[in-house]
Amino acid sequence: MPAGEKPKILIVDDAAENIRILMENLKEDYAIVPATDGDKAIKMLQAYSLPDLILLDIVMPGADGYEICRRLKSDEITKDIPIIFITAKDREEDEVMGLTLGAVDYITKPFCMPIVKARVNTHVELKKHRDKLKQLSDLDGLTGICNRRRFDENMKLQWEYAQRSNTPLSLIMIDIDHFKAFNDLYGHGKGDECLKKVAHTLFETIKRPTDMIARYGGEEFACLIPVTDLDGATNIAEQMRANVLSLSIPHEASSAAGFVTISLGAACIKPTMYAAPAILLNGADQALYQAKRSNRNCVRTCRFE
């Protein structure tokens, strides 16, 4: 969550009056998104940025709160969003059922707003700390951008999303040209500085929060770009190439230029149930190989028909 931005809460309840009361009492500290049934809530989660907490009624038309909770907890994208049941069902076995399904709390109606606010605050703060710890574990220690493990996780999630939404998924593989020669000539300290500058420049080139740049290994980087066709990915790759060249980092041992340059391979595919993410990785790798064979400091592409 960006600094200064209010935590987002999704309220799912078929009773408009309940939503009104909760919104009125929580809107000062939280950004509230209402949904009047479970199916609408699921669609909203697929279309917009994820909330920090879900307040979920149990008794609703269509899929009830228990079923919605099951769906959310079985989905890799939504499984870590904390859910608090707010319901008129006050039997012990109902509460046990809700907590067993993965909810973090259970509040019965008619609710006491000071208690609701205190519990909401507690679980939002806990999620903030969990997100911070996960973010630290997802970052490359040298460059500060995402690491290979986080890239692999996100590739799986974005592949599944592209399958469901029938949208293109693009990937750019990036390699610093003649980096071993750079290290040999200038030393590993300068090599680390070079990696950090290039990583920062690549990160600054991507604009959307859904796009990801990661250190893939050594001097190689990977950029995952959802809902973008090959032309769009190629444009981004060209911007990356130009931005790195404009750093004007001297590289006297390079045959590509007198400065540090990168080679890039871009590929795009519309994932289907008959394909795996490896096909997109292989396509981008092959395009990168062609860029290296073309005297480097250039972009090459792989188009799947």
Catalytic residue numbers? Answer: 219
Q: What is the DSSP string of 97-150?
A: HHHHTT-SEEEESSP-HHHHHHHHHHHHHHHHHHHHHHHHHTB-TTT-SB-HHH
Round to whole Å and give the CA distance between 108 and 148: 44
Round to whole Å and give the CA distance between 92 and 103: 15
Q: What is the DSSP string of the chain?
A: --TTPPPEEEEE-S-HHHHHHHHHHHTTTSEEEEESSHHHHHHHHHHSPPPSEEEE-SS-SSS-HHHHHHHHHHSTTTTTS-EEEEES---HHHHHHHHHTT-SEEEESSP-HHHHHHHHHHHHHHHHHHHHHHHHHTB-TTT-SB-HHHHHHHHHHHHHHHHHHT--EEEEEEEETTHHHHHHHH-HHHHHHHHHHHHHHHHHH--STT-EEEEEETTEEEEEEET--HHHHHHHHHHHHHHHHTT--B-TT-SS-SB--EEEEEEEE---TT--HHHHHHHHHHHHHHHHHTTSSSEEEEE--
